[in-house]
Amino acid sequence: MTPNLSRLLNALGLVAVDTVLVLAFVDQLWFRDLPCPLCILQRAGFVAAGFGLALNLILGPRPSHYGVMILGAVAGVVVSVRQILLHIVPGSGSYGNAILDLHLYSWALIAFSLIIIGSAIMLLFDRQFAATERDRLKVLPVSAVVLFVSLVVANVVSTLAICGVGLCPETPGGYLIFNDNLSLTLLGQPL
Protein backbone atom coordinates (compact mmCIF):
# COMPACT_ATOMS: atom_id res chain seq x y z
CA MET A 1 0.00 0.00 0.00
CA THR A 2 1.47 3.33 -1.08
CA PRO A 3 1.47 6.32 1.28
CA ASN A 4 -1.01 8.05 -1.06
CA LEU A 5 -3.47 5.14 -0.92
CA SER A 6 -3.05 5.04 2.86
CA ARG A 7 -3.84 8.75 3.00
CA LEU A 8 -6.96 8.27 0.86
CA LEU A 9 -8.21 5.42 3.07
CA ASN A 10 -7.51 7.45 6.22
CA ALA A 11 -9.43 10.39 4.72
CA LEU A 12 -12.39 8.12 3.95
CA GLY A 13 -12.20 6.72 7.50
CA LEU A 14 -12.26 10.22 8.95
CA VAL A 15 -15.23 11.10 6.73
CA ALA A 16 -17.00 8.06 8.22
CA VAL A 17 -16.24 9.26 11.78
CA ASP A 18 -17.39 12.77 10.79
CA THR A 19 -20.63 11.23 9.50
CA VAL A 20 -21.25 9.45 12.82
CA LEU A 21 -20.74 12.72 14.74
CA VAL A 22 -22.98 14.63 12.31
CA LEU A 23 -25.73 12.00 12.65
CA ALA A 24 -25.47 12.31 16.44
CA PHE A 25 -26.13 16.05 16.07
CA VAL A 26 -29.02 15.39 13.66
CA ASP A 27 -30.58 13.09 16.27
CA GLN A 28 -29.99 15.70 18.98
CA LEU A 29 -31.17 18.81 17.12
CA TRP A 30 -33.70 17.53 14.56
CA PHE A 31 -35.32 14.70 16.56
CA ARG A 32 -34.86 16.49 19.94
CA ASP A 33 -33.13 13.41 21.38
CA LEU A 34 -30.78 14.88 24.00
CA PRO A 35 -27.63 12.82 24.63
CA CYS A 36 -27.24 11.15 28.03
CA PRO A 37 -23.85 11.29 29.83
CA LEU A 38 -22.80 7.89 28.44
CA CYS A 39 -23.91 9.02 24.96
CA ILE A 40 -21.67 12.09 25.26
CA LEU A 41 -18.77 9.89 26.37
CA GLN A 42 -19.33 7.64 23.33
CA ARG A 43 -19.08 10.74 21.14
CA ALA A 44 -15.79 11.47 22.92
CA GLY A 45 -14.73 7.89 22.10
CA PHE A 46 -15.36 8.55 18.40
CA VAL A 47 -13.31 11.75 18.65
CA ALA A 48 -10.49 9.85 20.44
CA ALA A 49 -10.47 7.24 17.66
CA GLY A 50 -10.80 9.80 14.87
CA PHE A 51 -7.84 11.66 16.39
CA GLY A 52 -5.53 8.90 15.08
CA LEU A 53 -6.96 9.28 11.57
CA ALA A 54 -6.42 13.04 11.75
CA LEU A 55 -2.81 12.50 12.90
CA ASN A 56 -2.23 10.17 9.93
CA LEU A 57 -3.54 12.82 7.56
CA ILE A 58 -1.77 15.82 9.10
CA LEU A 59 1.57 14.27 10.09
CA GLY A 60 1.73 11.18 7.85
CA PRO A 61 0.90 7.54 8.63
CA ARG A 62 2.63 5.95 11.62
CA PRO A 63 1.92 2.73 13.54
CA SER A 64 1.48 4.78 16.74
CA HIS A 65 -1.35 6.75 15.10
CA TYR A 66 -3.19 3.49 14.45
CA GLY A 67 -2.54 2.66 18.12
CA VAL A 68 -4.27 5.94 19.00
CA MET A 69 -7.27 4.84 16.90
CA ILE A 70 -7.45 1.41 18.52
CA LEU A 71 -7.11 2.69 22.11
CA GLY A 72 -9.65 5.48 21.48
CA ALA A 73 -12.10 2.95 20.05
CA VAL A 74 -11.52 0.62 23.03
CA ALA A 75 -12.45 3.50 25.37
CA GLY A 76 -15.63 3.91 23.31
CA VAL A 77 -16.31 0.16 23.50
CA VAL A 78 -16.09 0.28 27.31
CA VAL A 79 -18.73 3.03 27.46
CA SER A 80 -21.09 1.53 24.86
CA VAL A 81 -20.94 -1.95 26.42
CA ARG A 82 -21.80 -0.44 29.79
CA GLN A 83 -24.87 1.25 28.28
CA ILE A 84 -25.92 -1.92 26.44
CA LEU A 85 -25.66 -3.92 29.69
CA LEU A 86 -27.82 -1.30 31.46
CA HIS A 87 -30.66 -2.08 29.04
CA ILE A 88 -29.94 -5.67 28.01
CA VAL A 89 -32.47 -7.26 30.36
CA PRO A 90 -35.96 -7.31 28.77
CA GLY A 91 -38.17 -4.76 30.49
CA SER A 92 -35.25 -2.60 31.67
CA GLY A 93 -36.12 0.09 29.14
CA SER A 94 -33.87 1.84 26.68
CA TYR A 95 -32.50 5.30 25.98
CA GLY A 96 -33.21 7.37 22.89
CA ASN A 97 -34.44 6.49 19.45
CA ALA A 98 -33.79 3.19 17.69
CA ILE A 99 -32.53 3.14 14.11
CA LEU A 100 -33.09 -0.08 12.11
CA ASP A 101 -34.12 -1.82 15.36
CA LEU A 102 -30.84 -0.99 17.14
CA HIS A 103 -30.31 1.82 19.62
CA LEU A 104 -27.49 4.26 19.07
CA TYR A 105 -25.29 2.67 21.75
CA SER A 106 -25.54 -0.69 19.94
CA TRP A 107 -24.61 0.97 16.64
CA ALA A 108 -21.75 2.69 18.48
CA LEU A 109 -20.37 -0.68 19.62
CA ILE A 110 -20.51 -1.95 16.02
CA ALA A 111 -18.79 1.21 14.74
CA PHE A 112 -16.03 1.05 17.40
CA SER A 113 -15.45 -2.63 16.54
CA LEU A 114 -15.13 -1.74 12.84
CA ILE A 115 -12.60 0.98 13.71
CA ILE A 116 -10.49 -1.53 15.65
CA ILE A 117 -10.66 -4.10 12.84
CA GLY A 118 -9.92 -1.47 10.18
CA SER A 119 -6.91 -0.16 12.12
CA ALA A 120 -5.54 -3.69 12.56
CA ILE A 121 -5.90 -4.33 8.82
CA MET A 122 -4.16 -1.04 7.96
CA LEU A 123 -1.27 -1.99 10.26
CA LEU A 124 -0.61 -5.03 8.04
CA PHE A 125 0.70 -2.83 5.21
CA ASP A 126 4.24 -1.66 5.98
CA ARG A 127 5.00 0.28 2.78
CA GLN A 128 2.74 3.14 3.81
CA PHE A 129 5.20 3.93 6.62
CA ALA A 130 8.18 4.38 4.25
CA ALA A 131 9.78 7.81 4.62
CA THR A 132 8.84 9.74 1.49
CA GLU A 133 8.40 13.36 0.53
CA ARG A 134 4.87 14.20 1.59
CA ASP A 135 2.62 15.94 -0.90
CA ARG A 136 0.42 18.80 0.14
CA LEU A 137 -2.91 17.63 1.53
CA LYS A 138 -5.60 17.38 -1.13
CA VAL A 139 -9.19 18.58 -0.87
CA LEU A 140 -10.72 15.43 0.67
CA PRO A 141 -8.22 15.04 3.56
CA VAL A 142 -8.30 18.78 4.35
CA SER A 143 -12.10 18.83 4.27
CA ALA A 144 -12.30 15.74 6.50
CA VAL A 145 -9.89 17.24 9.06
CA VAL A 146 -11.56 20.68 9.05
CA LEU A 147 -15.01 19.10 9.50
CA PHE A 148 -13.63 16.87 12.28
CA VAL A 149 -12.16 19.85 14.16
CA SER A 150 -15.44 21.75 13.69
CA LEU A 151 -17.40 18.82 15.11
CA VAL A 152 -15.10 18.57 18.13
CA VAL A 153 -15.61 22.28 18.84
CA ALA A 154 -19.37 21.86 18.29
CA ASN A 155 -19.33 19.06 20.88
CA VAL A 156 -17.63 21.39 23.38
CA VAL A 157 -20.44 23.94 22.90
CA SER A 158 -23.22 21.32 22.89
CA THR A 159 -21.94 19.59 26.04
CA LEU A 160 -21.59 22.92 27.85
CA ALA A 161 -25.15 23.80 26.80
CA ILE A 162 -26.57 20.49 28.06
CA CYS A 163 -24.48 19.94 31.18
CA GLY A 164 -23.08 23.33 32.20
CA VAL A 165 -19.62 22.97 33.70
CA GLY A 166 -20.53 20.15 36.10
CA LEU A 167 -21.50 16.53 35.58
CA CYS A 168 -24.49 15.87 33.32
CA PRO A 169 -27.88 14.92 34.70
CA GLU A 170 -28.48 11.17 34.10
CA THR A 171 -31.53 11.95 31.99
CA PRO A 172 -31.15 15.46 30.57
CA GLY A 173 -34.46 17.29 30.39
CA GLY A 174 -33.26 20.27 28.40
CA TYR A 175 -30.38 22.62 27.82
CA LEU A 176 -29.14 23.75 31.24
CA ILE A 177 -27.53 26.77 29.65
CA PHE A 178 -31.03 28.11 28.86
CA ASN A 179 -32.21 27.53 32.41
CA ASP A 180 -33.38 30.57 34.35
CA ASN A 181 -30.95 29.81 37.15
CA LEU A 182 -27.92 30.21 34.91
CA SER A 183 -25.50 31.20 37.66
CA LEU A 184 -26.08 27.94 39.54
CA THR A 185 -25.77 26.02 36.28
CA LEU A 186 -22.40 27.56 35.58
CA LEU A 187 -21.23 26.61 39.05
CA GLY A 188 -22.24 23.03 38.37
CA GLN A 189 -24.72 22.98 41.23
CA PRO A 190 -27.86 20.81 41.14
CA LEU A 191 -30.89 22.83 40.10
Partner 1 sequence: MMSLPFVLFACGLGAAWTSRRVAALGFWVAGVLMLLVLFRMHATDVLNIAL
Residue type, 107: W
Please identify, using beta-carbon distances, which residue of 9 and 77 lies nearer to partner 1. 77
CB burial string 103-140: b at 16+ within 10 A, e below: bbbbbbbebbeebbebbeebbeeeebbeeeeeeeeeee
Residue type, 37: P
Please identify, using beta-carbon distances, which residue of 9 and 14 lies nearer to partner 1. 14
Judge whether 10 and 53 are in contact, CB under 8 Å: yes
Least Å distance between CB 55 and partner 1? Answer: 6
- DSSP SS3 for 85: helix
Please identify, using beta-carbon distances, which residue of 23 and 99 lies nearer to partner 1. 23
Least Å distance between CB 9 and partner 1? Answer: 19
Please identify, using beta-carbon distances, which residue of 9 and 176 lies nearer to partner 1. 176
Least Å distance between CB 70 and partner 1? Answer: 12
Q: How far apart are CA 157 and CA 66, in angstroms?
A: 28
Q: Is 179 left (phi over 0), alpha (psi -120 to 50) or beta?
A: beta
Site of interaction with partner 1 (CB under 8 A): 37-38, 40-41, 44-45, 47-48, 51, 54-55, 58-59, 64, 68, 71-72, 75, 78-79, 82, 85-86, 88-89, 92, 145, 148-149, 152-153, 155-156, 159-160, 162-163, 165-168, 170, 188
Please identify, using beta-carbon distances, which residue of 125 and 166 lies nearer to partner 1. 166
Least Å distance between CB 125 and partner 1? Answer: 21
